[in-house]
Structure formats: C-alpha cells, structure tokens
A and B are shown apart, each in its own frame.
Chain A
Amino acid sequence: MRWRHPAVVCLIAALGLVPAAGKAEGVSVREAWIREAPPGVAMMAGYMALRNNTSQSQVLVAASSPDFETVMIHRTIVKDSMTGMEHAPQIELPPKAGLLFAPGGYHLMLLNPKRTLRAGDRVDINLEFRSGLRLPVTFEIHK
C-alpha cells in the first residue's frame, strides 16, 4: 500500500502534529468532508483520511450521526465494466497505517439528512471500532 512508503509515513507523521478533525486513542482523521448534495437528493457521501497510530490493528465496524438517518460504510467497486456500491461491513486498518476514503473508493454513505446541509456546514459522525473505540469526527460540507 502506498501509504506505507517511508516518505509518506513521515509526511503523515508530520501532519499528525497539526490538530486533526477528530482524534482519540491513536486513531486520527484528517480532511473529513462530505460532498454537498444536489437539491432533492437524500444520499450523500463522506470522505476522510484515516490513520491508525497504534501498534494494533483497528477495525472500523460502524458509523452513526445525529444528522443522518443512516450511515453505512460503503465501497465503490467496478465489476464487469460497471460501477456499483457494496457494503463494507468492516475495514481493517493495519498498525501504523493510513486508509483513504475518497471518491471512487471507500466512502461513508449518508442517507436522509435530518437538516438541509450546504457547503460550509459541519456535521458530526461517530466512527466505531471493534476494540470499543469511538471516534467523533467533524465533517465539513464542500461543493
């Protein structure tokens, strides 16, 4: 995985000094954002750069938010030259490794927002790990 490249790891370690959008017990999140939805669309996607600073694997098993009816961990896949989404029931972050949630890959699927969300707004999403770790993350809505 390219995040394991020493230079990238150093860079991430350096960036770790900058206050992260959310931080708890060794798992940090940066660049947490949600794409603003067109009017009438009740489905959004959240993206972030996750980083496991601990020396144990951390398994992301769920996410929830007071601002959305449902939050699911999804992955965009390409199969038979078609793209689609699949539910990713759990994602393992190896020790000292990063994982990117980005367009065309992993994303948090956010269903039925409870309020109108426009660029610049912020929402809180809680990430839950198998270890019992709960990580509150603030996402910003971007165009």
Chain B
Amino acid sequence: MKKIPLKFCIMITTVALAAMLAGVWLAVTYRENDSRAMLLPTQGMALFPDPKSLSDFALTDHQNRVFDLANLKGKWSFLFFGFTHCPDICPTTLAVLARARENIAKSTVGAENIQFVFVSVDPNRDTASKLRQYVGYFDASFVGVTGDNAQIASLAGQLGATYRVAITPGVENYPVYHSTAVFLVDPQARYHAVFTPPLDAEAISRRFKVVRELEGNNAA
C-alpha cells in the first residue's frame, strides 16, 4: 500500500482545522447579528432568511368549515402532509407533534398562538368525520384538513411538500407516498421554516422557542 506523505497529512489537517474555525466563526457571527439565517447547532431544521408569502388556497377542515389562507394568519402553524390509512409514519409524526405541542404549552412561549394542521393528501378516503376522529385522538386542538386535489396541490406546492396517491381500481389499501417534513408557517402566512426527519418532540419545541426569540415581535 502506498504510504501517505506527511505533507499531505499536514495539509488535510490544516484544511479541516480551518473549516472548523470557519464554522465557529459563522455561528458566532450569525448569533451576534441575530440573523434568521443562523445555523442551528444540529441538523433537522432549515430557517429561511427570506420567508415566502403563501398565496390563497381553499381546503375544508375536520368540521367541514373552510380552511384557507386566512386560517394561517395570526398564529404559527405546523403543517404535516399525510393520510389516515398510514400505520407507521403518520401516527408516529402526529404523536411527536402532540408531545412538541405539550412542551411548547408548558414553556414560556405558550401554545395560545400556535396550531397544528394535518393535511390529508387522500381526500378519497379521508372524509371530514374521519379526520375529526383521527386528529382529535392525538390532540384535541389539532386541525385536520383536506379538499379537492387541485387545492391540496396548491398548498403543497407552495411549501414544497410532495406526495403521490397511487389509486388502483379495486384495491382498497392503495399506497400513498408523501413528504415527511413538518412545515412552519408564521403568523403573516409566510413559509418560515421546515423541520426534517428524524423528528423529535424536544428538538421541535426547543427550536421553535429559538425561532420565536429570533423573531421577537416582528412576525407576531
């Protein structure tokens, strides 16, 4: 085996050290500047430096009421796209979100100004009454919404949520594929941040607190 020259080792070590120092410098600088683009210490969340305003869409909630852009204004919204015939990822995520909500409610941030929205991409099977039973099981405050395909696509598209419903004639349990991220929309109905798996209730509530501290009253 060819021996790695000492010079090369030194060079690699230098580059690695420089990168580490640059990382520390960046983190400190962003923290000092109170910038939204602050690099959070661990992975799992992306905060957008320039939150994108969402445009109108029209869905229906689990009580058969209209759920549109106006429902995203005035509070922070956590949105997750899924379907109720989903034995693994959806209940796991909703249980995590219920715990995150509990943490937020208990913290100084409080839960008065937040809502959790489960968007079903499977309106064919997920009726309002089905959604009511489903989301209510995880947390009484959770909102379940769905609607016609074009309207779901409108909201999903604006958040970059992807999904595919593989309806197969004669197959009751057709597969549905969907993104696993949790999208955070701010009280001005702007797409503000995204939480990516692996999702963890403590991390979500902690990071949400950081977002609120960074925002101060700007977005409230």
Contact = CB atoms under 8 A, between A and B. Distances in A.
Nearest to A38: B137
Interface stretch (A15-23, A75-83, A88-96, A127-135): A75-83
A100 interface: no
Contacts of B88: 45, 74, 76, 85, 103-104, 107, 109
B206 interface: no
B180 A78 contact: yes
B146 to A, nearest CB: 15
Helix, strand, loop or mixed for chain A's interface? strand
A41 B92 contact: no
Contact of B87 (A79, A82, A110): A110
Interface residues of B, number: 27
B134 A38 contact: yes
Interface in B5-26: none
Interface string B170-212: 0001011111100000000000000001100000000000000
Nearest to A43: B87
What class of interface size applies to chain A in its complex with B? 20 to 34
A6 interface: no
Contacts of A45: 87-88, 91
Given A78-B180, A104-B198, A143-B95, 20 more contacts: A37-B87, A38-B84, A38-B138, A39-B133, A39-B134, A39-B137, A40-B133, A40-B134, A43-B87, A80-B162, A80-B177, A82-B164, A84-B176, A85-B88, A103-B89, A104-B88, A104-B89, A107-B87, A110-B87, A111-B173
Top 3 nearest A-B pairs (CB, nearest first) are A38-B137, A84-B177, A45-B87
